[in-house]
Amino acid sequence: MKALPLLLSICVVAAVLGQPAEERRRYEDGMRHLQLAAGSAEQNHDAEALHHLEQAEKLLPPSAQLYEMLGEAYLKTGDSRSVQFLRKAVELNPTDSGWENLSHALAANRQFEEAVRLFSQQVASQPQNSFFHLLLGEAYWNTAGYRRALAHFQQAAILNPNSARAHFGVGYSQQLLGNLPAATKSLQATLQIEPGHLLANLAMGHVLLAAGRSEEAVQFLRNYADKTPQNVDVRLTLAQIHIDRGQLSDALAELLHAQQLNPEEKRVHYLLGRLYTASGRLDLAAGQFARFSSLEAEEMQQKRLVRNVPYLKK
């Protein structure tokens, strides 16, 4: 409820400026619901907070702050009305945070083409605004239009050379488009500005791996793994690198962690099989490969079941 203090001051001022009694009561009731919404939000009671915000919206005059709070609440609860209210908020007060929230709502509701249309308009009206190039690049990204996304990320980086977000967009786009030297250069620029940028660390690790520089890749992947302890994929990638480099104790530590996170992940058992083979423990390797084969067979059977029984499809 970050906008509550400002909204509170607006409503209090309005209430004491000689408004009719009925109007004052509406303000008071609206403010009561806002305060209840704030309390519910602090306790992570999202449904209750949303209910009180909806009541406040019926009682209080139009306000960008109130629309933004309501839109954010709808976004948090997965309600498509988030787009409607966040759009109202930027129409009344077009702040960067408001546009950012609207872009998140459009993406969450898979309104990707609408995001492209909307942010194309903003870029056309403000071509020197790096922020709108970023939002348009991300909108194109969500439609898999990576070359168009790249062009806008590059423009954002030119307009704002200190934007880690812009350089990351360039680097990740170049990575997906297969231009590894360009991807490396932009990801390095990202990490120079923001060394702790998680996704840039992950992307740099994979770019270096693809370039055959596995020893250098490990540190970037480790940076990501340390900040995302529940991520199985990055630990499997690290384990595979360690196995390939003969660092079996390091690989085992990663695989045991991954197995603890997801005992039914078939890749854990395959890599454990490889590790035990490399260390000469063939009986343990056979058991892990057998478990891998069993999980893979179960997965294939499930895929056949879903394919052959349409009503099971999501």
Domains annotated on the chain, with CATH: 1-109 (1.25.40.10), 231-314 (1.25.40.10)
- Is residue 212 predicted with pLDDT exceeding 50? yes
Query: What pLDDT shows up at residue 2?
Result: 53
Give the residue with greater pLDDT, 5 vs 108: 108
Query: What pLDDT shows up at residue 256?
Result: 96
Token match 């990351």: residue? 168
Average pLDDT, stretch 35-60? 86
pLDDT tens, 94-114? Answer: 999 999 999 999 999 999 999
pLDDT tens, 241-251? Answer: 999 999 999 99
- Is residue 278 predicted with pLDDT exceeding 80? yes
Question: Are 204 and 184 within 8 A, CB to CB?
Answer: yes
At 16, the pLDDT band (50, 70, 90 cuts) reads very low
Residue 245 carries which DSSP code? T
Average pLDDT, stretch 72-97? 94
What pTM was estimated for this model as a whole?
0.84
At 19, the pLDDT band (50, 70, 90 cuts) reads low
Distance of CA 2 to the CA centre of its chain: 21
- Rounded Cα distance, 140 and 138, in Å: 5
- Rounded Cα distance, 149 and 141, in Å: 5
Ranges 128-137, 207-216, 225-234, 296-305: which has the least confidence: 296-305
Average pLDDT, stretch 139-153? 96
